[in-house]
Amino acid sequence: MRILSGMRPSGKLHVGHLSVLSNWLRLQAENDCFFFVADWHALTTAYDETEAIRSNTSEMLADWLAVGIDPDKSTVFVQSQVLEHAELHLLLSMITPLSWLERVPTYKDQVQQLAARGKDIATYGFLGYPLLQSADILIYRADAVPVGQDQLPHLELCREVARRFNHLYKLVFPEPQALLADTALLPGVDGRKMSKSYGNEISLSADPDTVEKRVRMMITDPARIRKHDPGNPEVCNVFAYQGIYNRDVVGEITAACREGAIGCVACKLRLAASLNRFLEPIRERRARILAEPRFLDEVMERGREKATAAARETMDRVRRAIRI
């Protein structure tokens, strides 16, 4: 299958991104994958603060490669380096009714949310965000798109646009399927969704001490006050992590917590140790990648070439179908 996915360049990735990334890794083993940094999409909200986009792109690419995205197996590239995305976006804009974009559920919400914070994103570009995303997907004639739940409306729009194009002109685009990541989302240290904007994240590149400090900050069973009070792992943030990073001792921890035989600090230290063991090789690879700046440039250049070749092939078909 041809698989495509992208992320906006948010800089360093965190532990909350690992469920999406492990999905990518699984797909990479057996499919023709395209993974890209959506830096034009970053401009839809950050058009007036562009200074971090390039460094965020490099930081994120380094994290992708450090977790095992392999540029020899997958096509890894940056959206703004493949101009064909912009051409397809323009052509698709001709056949996309405004009402389809206006009714994308995230649209009005986000305009209002950001307006409340004094930011005006009632722009043409932001309304077109999901159409640019559709162009990203359709230009590689992708069969499937691994994304988070929040992206489903965008994928639905993409399928509708593909259907409309195929109907108006000629069958060019398959209708891409969404592939949802199956691992449950891990919360941030304060119990809310992990996000840099909440400051509750554990970065993949955090050093061991920082990881331990962040784990110590995690919210546990709030009803547990003294060390020997019986606890309820089901309502505990730390426990959600133990289930993933300390899988073989999770039964023991459950019992000890319920009996009040393990204190939360000890429990957290066991988690921090496992998390650090897990992150160590990622940290090492990341450091090696960033120590050799030309390496990332080469990865981007190879990705640009492969992606451009595939995009041009689709654009030939698109232009012939439209007769332009």
Among 37, 132, 204, 257, binds ligand SF4 (CB under 6 A): 257
Q: Does 304 bind ligand TRP (CB under 6 A)?
A: no
Among 36, 64, 239, 245, binds ligand SF4 (CB under 6 A): 239
Residues 4-23 contacting ligand TRP, CB under 6 A? 4-8
Alpha-carbon distance 97 to 89, whole Å? 14
Angle (CA) 12-83-25 rounded to 5° is: 40
Among 59, 63, 136, 221, binds ligand SF4 (CB under 6 A): 221
| Residue 267, contacted partner among ligand SF4, ligand TRP, none, CB below 5-8 A by kind | ligand SF4
Cα-Cα-Cα-Cα torsion 263, 267, 269, 273, nearest 10 degrees, comes to: 160
Among 9, 71, 130, 231, binds ligand SF4 (CB under 6 A): 231
Q: Does 286 bind ligand TRP (CB under 6 A)?
A: no
| Residue 239, contacted partner among ligand TRP, ligand SF4, none, CB below 5-8 A by kind | ligand SF4
Nearer to ligand TRP, 142 or 271 (CB): 142
| Residue 46, contacted partner among ligand TRP, ligand SF4, none, CB below 5-8 A by kind | none
**Which two structure tokens, joined as six digits, stand for 129?**
């965000």
Q: Does 147 bind ligand TRP (CB under 6 A)?
A: yes
The answer to whether residues 76 and 303 touch, using CB atoms and an 8 Å cutoff, is yes
Q: Does 238 bind ligand SF4 (CB under 6 A)?
A: yes
Q: Does 43 bind ligand TRP (CB under 6 A)?
A: no
Among 21, 37, 38, 307, binds ligand TRP (CB under 6 A): 38
Alpha-carbon distance 159 to 177, whole Å? 8
DSSP 8-state assignment for residue 118: T
Q: Does 74 bind ligand TRP (CB under 6 A)?
A: no
Residues 80-139 contacting ligand TRP, CB under 6 A? 133, 136-137
**How far does Cα 266 stand from its chain's mean position?**
32
Q: Which of 289, 311, 38 is CA-nearest to residue 151? A: 38
Burial pattern 113-135, b for ≥16 Cβ within 10 A else e, equals: eeeeeeeebeeeebbbbbbbbbb
Nearer to ligand SF4, 156 or 252 (CB): 252
Alpha-carbon distance 242 to 186, whole Å? 11
Sequence-distant (≥ 6) Cβ neighbours of residue 220 within 8 angstroms: 231, 236, 237, 238, 264, 267, 268
Alpha-carbon distance 114 to 122, whole Å? 10
Contacts with ligand TRP, residue ranges (CB under 6 A): 4-8, 38, 41, 133, 136-137, 145, 147, 151
Contacts with ligand SF4, residue ranges (CB under 6 A): 220-221, 224, 231, 233, 236, 238-239, 253, 257, 262, 264, 267-268
